[in-house]
């Protein structure tokens, strides 16, 4: 297995350029911040950016928890890739990750200054310092469950095809981890209600929502609502179907995780 390291100080834009570096070398798998990524999909691991402290984040990125390392090693064995790109802030970090995951020593190292200009690196560092943003090289919806309630901002990457013409070559996810103290983003309760109302009232067996409440908690969105159902439908299976549909659509459209959905069949109506 070929192992390539991609090295650069924290905040210089490695994750932003990881997919490009991998693609240029025909590498399909990337290890970045505790995750094993294949193309645009996370296949194993837990992101270091989910940790509540910087120390915890470093330990996660270095695979210091045995169960975390075993999870990644099992996935690598399962997929058996020809090559892997490992991201790290130093040569030592890349070598340590390879050693902990029982991978061959990196045979090539790519450095951030080789693929980004001084200006681009400076801008990346400024964004990290002032806004606390971090990039993970997967689409936003791939990581929604790991980052409930935190800042997610899809970052689209374009390549110039000609004058005034660009081709979309990928999407990355910008997150603000919990150890960044620059705030969180929220979606208004009314927006959640509008999504839920659209989903629910278009389901067979539901007449309307008679009461609705949503609360953004640390572990995700808490939803409770009373429903007016149509007489003639079996209530319990219908409520379970509503729960599933609401969960899927709210998570898909907002990237917020749903912690619980409590439903009450308040009354019935005849069509």
Average pLDDT, integer, range 223-239? 94
Tell me, yes or no, whether 137 lies in a domain. no
Using DSSP's 3-state secondary structure scheme, residue 148 falls into: coil
Instruction: Give the CATH number of the domain where residue 264 resides.
Output: 3.30.70.1350
Tell me, yes or no, whether 68 lies in a domain. yes
Count the neighbouring beta carbons within 10 Å of the beta carbon of residue 72.
23
Q: Show Cβ contacts of residue 228 under 8 Å, excluding neighbours closer than 6 positions.
A: 206, 207, 208, 209, 210, 266, 267, 268, 269
% of residues, the chain, pLDDT over 70: 73
What pLDDT score does 180 carry?
Answer: 44
Tell me, yes or no, whether 26 lies in a domain. yes
Instruction: Say if residue 6's pLDDT is above 90.
Output: yes
**What distance, in Å, lies between the first and last C-alpha atoms of the chain?**
65
Examine the domain organization and report whether 124 and 195 are in the same domain: no
Examine the domain organization and report whether 105 and 204 are in the same domain: no
Give the burial class of 124: count Cβ atoms within 10 A of its Cβ; 0-12 exposed, 13-18 middle, 19 or more buried: buried
Are 11 and 125 within 8 A, CB to CB?
yes
Helix axes 235-254, 189-201, angle to 10 degrees: 130
CA torsion 204-210-213-219 (nearest 10°) is -30
Which residue in 245, 190, 198, 195 sits closest to 214, CA to CA? 190
Tell me, yes or no, whether 52 lies in a domain. yes
Chain mean pLDDT for the chain: 79
Tell me, yes or no, whether 256 lies in a domain. yes
Tell me, yes or no, whether 139 lies in a domain. no
Examine the domain organization and report whether 79 and 197 are in the same domain: no
Tell me, yes or no, whether 23 lies in a domain. yes
Instruction: Say if residue 160's pLDDT is above 60.
Output: no
Write out the residue range of the structural domain in which residue 42 sits. Answer: 2-129
CA distance 13 to 123: 9
Worst-scoring range by mean pLDDT, 7-16, 134-143, 236-245?
134-143
Examine the domain organization and report whether 217 and 122 are in the same domain: no
Average pLDDT, integer, range 110-137? 71
Given the DSSP bridges, would you call strands 2-7 and 41-45 parallel, antiparallel or unpaired? unpaired
Per-residue pLDDT of 171-203, as tens digits, reads 555 554 444 444 444 566 677 888 888 899 889
Q: Show Cβ contacts of residue 104 under 8 Å, excluding neighbours closer than 6 positions.
A: 1, 2, 3, 98
Which residue in 1, 3, 29 sits closest to 98, CA to CA? 3
For 221-247, give one letter per residue: b (16+ CB within 10 A) or e: bebebbbebeeebeeeebbeebbeebb
Count of domains in the chain? 2
Domain final residue, candidates 82, 108, 129: 129
Average pLDDT, integer, range 135-154? 48
Give the burial class of 183: count Cβ atoms within 10 A of its Cβ; 0-12 exposed, 13-18 middle, 19 or more buried: exposed
What pLDDT score does 150 carry?
Answer: 43
Examine the domain organization and report whether 110 and 210 are in the same domain: no
Domain final residue, candidates 100, 129, 158: 129
Examine the domain organization and report whether 100 and 22 are in the same domain: yes
Element (H, E) at 143: none
Domain final residue, candidates 114, 129, 144: 129
Angstrom CA distances, 260 to 112, 187, 219, 246, 265, stand at 43, 17, 10, 11, 17
């Amino acid at each position: 297995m070929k192992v390539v390291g991609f090295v650069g100080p924290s905040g210089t834009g490695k994750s932003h350029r990881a997919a490009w570096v991998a693609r240029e070398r025909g590498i399909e798998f990337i290890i970045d911040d505790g995750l094993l990524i294949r193309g645009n999909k996370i296949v194993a691991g837990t992101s270091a950016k989910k940790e509540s402290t910087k120390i915890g984040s470093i330990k996660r990125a270095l695979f210091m928890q045995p169960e975390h390392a075993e999870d990644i090693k099992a996935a690598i064995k399962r997929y058996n890739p020809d090559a892997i790109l490992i991201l790290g802030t130093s040569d030592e970090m890349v070598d340590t990750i390879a050693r902990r995951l029982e991978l061959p020593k990196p045979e090539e190292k790519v450095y951030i200054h080789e693929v980004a200009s001084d200006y681009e690196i400076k801008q990346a560092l400024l964004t990290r310092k002032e806004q606390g943003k971090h990039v993970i090289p997967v689409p936003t919806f791939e990581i929604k469950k790991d980052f409930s309630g935190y800042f997610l901002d899809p970052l689209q990457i374009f390549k110039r095809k000609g004058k005034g013409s660009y081709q979309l070559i990928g999407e990355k996810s910008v997150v603000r981890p919990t150890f960044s103290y620059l705030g969180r983003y929220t979606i208004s309760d009314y927006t959640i209600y509008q999504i839920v109302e659209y989903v629910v009232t278009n389901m067979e067996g539901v007449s309307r929502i008679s009461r609705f409440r949503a609360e953004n908690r640390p572990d995700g969105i808490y939803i409770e609502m009373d429903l007016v159902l149509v007489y003639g439908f079996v209530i319990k299976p219908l409520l379970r179907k509503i729960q599933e549909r609401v969960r899927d659509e709210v998570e898909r459209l907002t990237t917020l995780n749903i912690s619980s959905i409590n439903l009450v069949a308040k009354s019935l109506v005849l069509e």
